[in-house]
Amino acid sequence: MSANAEKAKLAGVCSVRRKTIRGAFCRLTLNMPMEFPHPAPGQFILISPQPHSYDSQQTRATKFSTRLSRFDMGVPQDRTMLLRPMSIFDYVKAPGRPNGLLTLLFKVVGRGTLSLSGVEPGDRLRFLGPTGNGFNPLECKKTLLVAGGVGISGVNLLCKSLLAGGHPPLFILGVNSKEESPVRLSLTEVVPHHRWAIPKGTEPLRLVVSRMFDIFVPSMVASIYPGDQGAFCGTACELVERLFRANPAYAEKTMLAACGPAPMLEALEETARHYSVRQFLVVLEEKMACGAGTCLGCATRIKDLTDDAREAAFHYERVCTEGPVFDGYRVIYRM
């Protein structure tokens, strides 16, 4: 997958414009510099979890002290050091405006994301991006997007571009607890709608239409949390399975793109194989250091192309460079 491997990336500083926190989820809107290249669906940026004083703008009054701070500043002791990879949830550049607005959506899981959730509007954050190989031009007209929780940010731009291209995807969001309802409610406002046919096999369910950035997407929510109103009770993968079972011909024509935790992706692979889904793409996550393809820290195992599709032969590919979008049939999900 080398659709946009040659695209330039920028190492720069952006400023925080807006922050919304719901439960463990945080949405950040960033004001990107003018030179920021337009990201492709599936691409991501690396972002510093906190501002650094030497990135702040110099004023005449601080010139001497910044001269010294430029001399002194490394990484402050109480902070995280490495940048964190984050999918580009949304990017809009209004006509006539020099700066684009980039939205991140993330879940607080550790030191870095905790620190990132503490930034304030006006803070300046270092970033690198947009980077990675996004979704290839798709072969299939029918698309099924599956997001596990905050994985929604990995497929959202794709969803947007499919809609713009006149091929509305079907969107399935898996939430695993009441906690994740912010992903579902505040970030995709759920409203019932009737324009799209309810997929065969899911008739007892309600097909909802989520509003994602003012575009309506036919979508279904799967929740393992019983009593979650309007949602399918079970995992996202079980819902996908049910859809394919009722409608195997649909599966064979479909491109399935998924982003979420590894066990979900692994379960989806099995389903995709079983129903011979035409194309299966996944967005992978791995810890990163450089994000530039140099450190080889983000390696993931990819099955070699052999006649025998067993797991024996594999090689490593870099999630930051060859990925994060991979052929889901060739990824080895288990540690």
Partner 1 sequence: MASNNPQNVDFDDRAEALSLLKTSLGSMELKTPIMIASGTFGYGNEYDRIEGFCMDAVAAIALKGITSKPRQGNPTPRIFETPCGMLNSIGLSNVGVEVLINEKLPALADKKAHVIVNVGGETPDDIIDAARALSYHKRLFSAIEINISCPNLQGTPIGQDFHATRRVVTVIRQMYRRNTVIVKLVPNLSLISEMAVVCEEAGADALTVANSFPGMAIDVFERKPILGANFGGLSGPAIKPLSLLLVHRVRRAVSLPIIASGGISCARDAVEFIIAGASAISVGTALFYDARVCSRINEGIVDFLFEDAKRRGLTCPLPLRDYIGTLTLNG
Ligand X SMILES: Cc1cc2nc3c(=O)[nH]c(=O)nc-3n(C[C@H](O)[C@H](O)[C@H](O)COP(=O)(O)O)c2cc1C
The vertex-26 CA angle with 21 and 27, nearest 5°, equals 100
Q: How far apart are the first and last CA of the chain?
A: 24
Residues that bind ligand X in the complex, under the rule CB under 6 A: 295, 297
- 3-state secondary structure at position 211: strand
**Residue 65 binds to ligand FES (criterion: CB under 6 A):** no
Partner touching 57 among ligand X, partner 1, ligand FES, none, CB below 5 to 8 Å by kind? none
Listed ranges 15-23, 96-104, 291-299, 322-330: which one lies at the site for partner 1 (CB under 8 A): 291-299
Partner touching 150 among ligand FAD, ligand FES, partner 1, none, CB below 5 to 8 Å by kind? ligand FAD
Q: Which is nearer to ligand FES, 32 or 320 (CB)?
A: 320
The vertex-283 CA angle with 186 and 112, nearest 5°, equals 65
Question: What does the alpha-carbon distance between residue 247 and residue 102 come to, in Å, rounded to a whole number?
Answer: 38
Residues that bind ligand FAD in the complex, under the rule CB under 6 A: 44, 84-87, 105-107, 109-113, 150, 153, 285-288, 319, 324
Within 295-324, the residues that bind ligand FES by CB under 6 A are 295-298, 318, 320
Burial 293-319 (b: 16+ CB within 10 A, else e): eeeeebebebbeeeeeeeeeeeeebbb
Q: Report yes or no: 147 and 79 within 8 Å, Cβ to Cβ.
A: no
**Residue 257 binds to partner 1 (criterion: CB under 8 A):** no
For residue 55, give Cα distances in angstroms to 44, 112, 335: 21, 18, 38
Q: Which is nearer to ligand FAD, 46 or 243 (CB)?
A: 46
Q: Report yes or no: 321 and 133 within 8 Å, Cβ to Cβ.
A: yes
How far apart are CB 332 and ligand FAD at their closest, in Å?
16
Listed ranges 74-82, 133-141, 146-154, 195-203: which one lies at the site for partner 1 (CB under 8 A): 74-82
Report which residue type is found at 78. D
How far apart are CB 153 and ligand FES at their closest, in Å?
19
Q: Which is nearer to partner 1, 85 or 169 (CB)?
A: 85
Q: Tell me the backbone φ, ψ of residue 138, rounded to 5 degrees.
A: -85, 145
Which residues contribute to the site for ligand FES (CB under 6 A)? 288-291, 293-298, 318, 320
